[in-house]
C-alpha cells in the first residue's frame, strides 16, 4: 500500500554504514571494517503449522497425544513418539491454564533484538493435562517484573496478543492470582482484557538527616566519577554513542545526569524539559552504595529501592552501572 510503513525483517536502524577504520594497538596499525553476514528465508513452519495457525487464527493451543503411552506434549514439537516406536501422535486442544514448570529467568541485559522488552521473563507452563512445558513470555500486570512473582507451581493463564503472527510471541502468561473471576473464565483471554496501567511516578518521603548526608555524599561521588570518566578510556567506551538526560529525584533533593559524547556530567538540578529517564529513590544512599561498589543500580531496581520511568532505559542503567568499575580499572 502506498504510504503504509512496511516492517522489515532487519530493522533499518540496526544496519551500520559501509566503513572501515584503523585501530592502533601496541604500536601496530590494524584495519577493521563494518561487515554483516545475512541470509533471508521463506521458512516453512511445516508440521508445526497447525499449532502456529491455531495461535494466530483460532486462538487455540494445540498439543499432541501419544495413543500408546498417553503423554501429551505441548508445544507439539514432534509428529511421532520416539518412546513408542515412532507411532503417530494425535492432535488435542489444550486448556489455557496451568502451572509454572519452574521459576522463570528474568532478563535484564538483552541484545539488540530484544532490548526494548527488558526486563522480560521467559518461562515454561505445564498446561493442564500436559506432560511437557510450553515456553512462553511471562508478564505481570502490576508494574516492573521482579524475580519473585513467578515460581515453580504458580498457577497461570495464557493470554493472546491482539496482533498475532503465528509466532511464540502471540501468547504470554500472567499469574492467575492477578485475574478477576470473569477473566479466569474467559477463553480466549485477550491482552486487551487486562489492565496494564501506566506506572505512576512514586512520591518521595520526607528527608531524614542521614538521607541529607547521603545526598551530599552521592553528589560528591558522582562529580568525582564524572572527572574519572574523562580519564578512563573504558568508561568513555561504555558511554560512546549514547546521549541521555536523566532526572533523579530523592527525598533529600533532585539532581541531573547528562550523558553525551562519551562523558558524564552531574548537575545540582534536574535537566530542563522532558528528560529521557526519570529515576526516583527515597533514600539517596543507594547512589553512594552504587559508587562504592556495594550495590548496582540494576539490583536496587530489582529490590524495589529505585524506580525508573521506562523499562527500556535499563540499557542506560547498565551503562551507568559499568562506570565506577571502568574508572577504577583504568586508575589501576
Partner 1 sequence: MERTYYGLSQMAVRDCLRDAAIGIKDVDAVVYGIYNDIFEMAAIPEHPLQGIIGMTNKPGIRVTNGGATGAYAMHCAYAWVASGLYDTVMVLGVERATDCFDFESMTETPEVIKTIGWSGDTFFERELGWTASDSYAEVVLAYMDDHPEDLKPEISAKISEILCQQAKHNPFAQRRDEVVTAEMAMNSRYVVYPFKLLEMCVYSEGAGALIFASEEKAKAIARNNGKAPIWIAGVGASNEHSVAGPDYTRHKYMGRIWSDHIAAEKAYAMAGITKPVQEIQVVELHDAFIKQLQITMGEMGFVPIGRTDALVEEGIMTPGGKVLVNPSGGLTFGGHFVGGSNIFSTWSARREMLERGFARGLIHGTGSTVSQYGVVFVLERS
Q: What residues line the site for partner 1 (CB under 8 A)?
A: 13-16, 23, 25-26, 28, 30, 32, 34-35, 37, 45, 48, 71, 73, 75, 77, 83, 101-115, 117, 120, 122, 124, 131-133, 135-137, 147, 151-152, 167-169, 237-238, 240-242, 289, 293-299, 302, 315, 318, 321, 329
User: Judged by CB, which is closer to partner 1: 14, or 79?
Assistant: 14
Q: Residue 80, SS3?
A: strand
CA distance 320 to 258: 11
- Evaluate the omega torsion of the peptide bond into residue 119 and state whether it is cis, within 30 degrees of 0: yes
Least distance to partner 1, CB of residue 278, Å: 20
User: Judged by CB, which is closer to partner 1: 209, or 241?
Assistant: 241
* Residue carrying C-alpha cell 538521607: 211
Distance (Å) of CA 303 to CA 107, 146, 154: 15, 8, 21
Strand order in the sheet with 277-281: 263-267, 253-260, 244-250, 277-281, 307-308
Q: Using only the alpha carbons of the chain, give its radius of gyration.
A: 25
User: Judged by CB, which is closer to partner 1: 196, or 242?
Assistant: 242
Least distance to partner 1, CB of residue 108, Å: 5
Residues 287, 300: contact at Cβ < 8 Å? no
User: Judged by CB, which is closer to partner 1: 121, or 253?
Assistant: 121
Least distance to partner 1, CB of residue 119, Å: 9
CA distance 26 to 30: 10
* Residue carrying C-alpha cell 541484545: 111
User: Judged by CB, which is closer to partner 1: 30, or 205?
Assistant: 30
Least distance to partner 1, CB of residue 224, Å: 19
Residues 326, 232: contact at Cβ < 8 Å? yes
Tell me how many degrees the CA angle 123-125-131 measures, rounded to the nearest 5.
130
User: Judged by CB, which is closer to partner 1: 204, or 229?
Assistant: 229
Alpha-carbon 23 to chain mean position: 33
Least distance to partner 1, CB of residue 209, Å: 26
User: Judged by CB, which is closer to partner 1: 272, or 292?
Assistant: 292
Least distance to partner 1, CB of residue 267, Å: 25
Residues 229, 265: contact at Cβ < 8 Å? no
Amino acid at each position: 500500500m502506498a504510504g503504509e510503513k512496511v516492517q522489515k525483517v532487519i530493522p533499518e536502524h540496526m544496519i551500520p554504514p559501509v566503513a572501515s577504520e584503523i585501530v592502533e594497538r601496541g604500536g601496530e596499525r590494524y584495519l577493521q571494517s563494518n561487515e554483516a553476514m545475512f541470509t533471508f528465508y521463506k521458512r516453512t513452519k511445516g508440521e508445526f503449522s497447525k499449532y502456529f495457525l491455531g495461535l494466530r487464527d483460532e486462538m487455540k493451543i494445540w498439543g499432541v497425544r501419544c495413543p500408546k503411552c498417553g503423554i501429551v506434549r505441548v508445544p507439539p514439537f514432534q509428529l511421532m513418539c520416539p518412546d513408542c516406536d515412532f507411532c503417530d501422535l494425535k492432535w488435542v486442544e489444550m486448556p489455557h491454564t496451568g502451572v509454572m514448570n519452574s521459576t522463570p529467568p528474568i532478563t535484564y541485559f538483552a541484545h539488540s533484538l530484544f532490548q526494548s522488552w527488558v526486563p522480560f521473563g521467559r518461562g515454561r507452563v505445564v498446561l493442564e493435562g500436559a506432560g511437557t512445558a510450553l515456553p512462553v513470555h511471562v508478564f505481570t500486570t502490576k508494574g516492573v517484573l521482579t524475580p519473585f512473582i513467578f515460581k515453580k507451581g504458580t498457577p497461570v493463564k495464557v493470554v493472546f496478543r491482539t496482533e498475532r503472527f503465528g509466532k511464540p510471541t502471540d501468547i504470554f502468561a500472567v499469574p492467575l492470582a492477578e485475574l478477576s473471576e470473569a477473566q479466569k473464565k474467559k477463553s480466549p483471554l485477550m491482552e486487551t482484557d487486562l489492565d496494564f496501567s501506566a506506572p505512576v511516578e512514586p512520591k518521595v518521603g520526607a528527608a531524614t538527616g542521614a538521607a541529607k548526608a547521603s545526598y551530599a555524599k552521592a553528589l560528591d561521588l558522582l562529580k568525582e566519577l564524572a572527572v574519572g570518566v574523562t580519564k578512563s578510556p573504558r568508561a568513555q567506551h561504555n558511554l560512546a554513542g549514547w546521549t541521555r538526560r536523566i532526572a533523579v529525584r530523592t527525598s533529600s533533593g533532585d539532581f541531573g545526569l547528562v550523558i553525551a559524547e562519551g562523558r558524564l556530567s552531574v548537575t545540582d538540578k534536574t535537566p530542563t524539559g522532558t528528560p529521557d529517564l526519570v529515576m526516583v529513590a527515597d533514600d539517596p544512599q543507594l547512589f553512594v552504595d552504587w559508587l562504592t561498589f556495594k550495590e548496582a543500580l540494576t539490583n536496587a531496581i530489582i529490590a524495589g529501592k529505585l524506580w525508573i520511568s521506562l523499562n527500556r532505559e535499563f540499557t542506560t542503567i547498565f551503562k551507568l552501572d559499568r562506570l565506577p568499575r571502568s574508572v577504577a580499572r583504568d586508575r589501576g
